[in-house]
Structure 1
Amino acid sequence: MKTILTSAFILCACLMQAQDKYTSAMLKNIDALYKSKTSEEYQSSVNAFDRIASTEKNKFEPYYYAAFGNIMMAVNETVPGKKDNYLDLASANVDKAKTIKPNDSEIIALEGFVHMIRVTVDPQSRGQEYSGKAFTAFNKAVALNPENPRALALLGQMQLGTARFFGNDSSEACATSGKALEKFASYRPASALAPHWGQVMAEEVKSTCK
């Protein structure tokens, strides 16, 4: 019995050490990702998350943050083909994250973010298809977790863009972004690796409101 308990303790200690190494590596690279300004810096972070994902195949977080990094590179890219390439990579990572953790509000919101940036490549030809997909994803993310401020911030951004495109009133976007900011004020991350981006997006939309 003593041998069994000792073996169990050693196994538990090894698992905790591995988990701590994973968390430490993730936190380091998440911090670098949030501080990134250039495509080169974003790419460096994405590469790091890809390496972590290759060894931590049952963890959704590396895929989530790799997707986020690719989305940000797409946002900064001006060449349509390159923008789509980044979004293709982001979409692939979102799909992997969804396989590990289905129906997660944060992941579904990120999926909508991919669709939203697809619209910007060519609003005239893509607006109908990808706007619909983005709204569907954002509304689903809010339904899955009404307390998720990122889902609301992204929804507000989409509402504002749509209102401007059609020359409509932006009051809906203002209300949604106001709600997002309320949620950000009370937001408590579920874990150390939980996302905490998006507040600036909501503030930018809200700043356009009267």
Structure 2
Amino acid sequence: MKTKQHIGTFVAATLLTGSVAMAQQPGQYQAAMGSLLARMDTVESVAGNLQVANAFTRVATAEKNQWLPFYYSALCTVLAAFDEKDITKIDPLCEQATQLINESDRLSPNNTEVYCIKSMIALAGIKVNMMTRGLEGITTAQANLEKSLQLDENNPRAYFLMGQQTYNTPERLGGSKKDALAYFEKAITLFEKQRDRATTIDVNWGRKTAERMAAVCRKQLQVATK
């Protein structure tokens, strides 16, 4: 998933409002979600992610039995938490993301994708206080990713997030660029098997970042062996 915003705030707001209005009309749920997913792929700022998150929440309000709007709203919210520089705002964002993903979990129990978001929320909160939250956050995130893979051993996002976590974890706590690369490569292989999702509203994010991070790992490992 990219997190870059290439459209102006006014244009984005207009498109998002139109998408939500469509969701309130019978048979327009797919079109509304598709429009919002296109917008989600263009944002790069905290404000942009929260704008799209709010739009997904409005769709969720109109489509109360659908888990995906809550899921995507939680995803955008936790991405905002990762990018937020004001640490006093991170916990509220994580709490908001938790409420959203819990609603998604209620509507779609034992969903492999839901546990990926739970792992992200656990990691996002670490930035508030690395010393006191680091180990617990990493452990909680790992447990959620393991649960995700128990539910679907072929979920590429679980491997991608394991790669991210392993890459960013200090070596003294189990981090490893070599292991991270293995996770990224596994994720890329599994992403290839989900190519058909590109034209649907099914969960389909992470591939481009996994490919970029795999290249970063290879470069760093090559440098380390010279």
What is aligned with 1:179? 186
Query: Structure 2 vs 1, CA of residues 208 and 56 (structure 1 numbering), >3 Å: closer, same or farther?
Result: same
Letter aligned with residue 93 of structure 1: L
SS at match of 1:78: coil
What is aligned with 2:59? 52
Larger Rg: 1
Contact kept in structure 1, 2:87 and 2:127, CA below 8 Å: no
2:217 pairs with 1:203:
no
2:50 pairs with 1:39:
no
The 5-angstrom pairing of residues 127-142 of structure 1 reads 127-142=134-149
Contact kept in structure 1, 2:198 and 2:204, CA below 8 Å: no
Q: Distance in 2 between matches of 1:174 and 1:141?
A: 20
SS at match of 1:27: helix
Contact kept in structure 2, 1:163 and 1:170, CA below 8 Å: no
Letter aligned with residue 138 of structure 1: L
The answer for unaligned runs of 5 or more in structure 1 is 1-16
Identity fraction in percent: 26
Query: Structure 2 vs 1, CA of residues 116 and 165 (structure 1 numbering), >3 Å: closer, same or farther?
Result: farther
2:47 pairs with 1:64:
no
- 1:126 Cα deviation from its structure 2 partner: 0.3
CA offsets 1:31-56 (integer angstroms, 9 cap, x no match): 11121122232222112111111121
Query: Structure 2 vs 1, CA of residues 98 and 191 (structure 1 numbering), >3 Å: closer, same or farther?
Result: farther
What is aligned with 2:119? 112
- 1:182 Cα deviation from its structure 2 partner: 1.0
| Structure 1 residue corresponding to 2:106, chosen from 99, 106, 114 | 99
CA offsets 1:54-92 (integer angstroms, 9 cap, x no match): 121111011001101101111211111112211111111
SS at match of 1:35: coil
Q: Distance in 2 between matches of 1:34 and 1:71?
A: 15
TM-score, normalised with respect to structure 2? 0.79
Q: Distance in 2 between matches of 1:168 and 1:142?
A: 20
The answer for unaligned runs of 5 or more in structure 2 is 1-24, 222-226
Q: Distance in 2 between matches of 1:149 and 1:43?
A: 25
What is aligned with 1:6? none
After TM superposition, what 4+ stretches of structure 1 lie above 6 angstroms from structure 2?
none
- Name which of structure 1's ranges 58-67 and 178-187 shifts more when overlaid on structure 2: 178-187
Contact kept in structure 2, 1:33 and 1:45, CA below 8 Å: yes
TM-score, normalised with respect to structure 1? 0.84
SS at match of 1:189: helix
Query: Structure 2 vs 1, CA of residues 103 and 167 (structure 1 numbering), >3 Å: closer, same or farther?
Result: closer
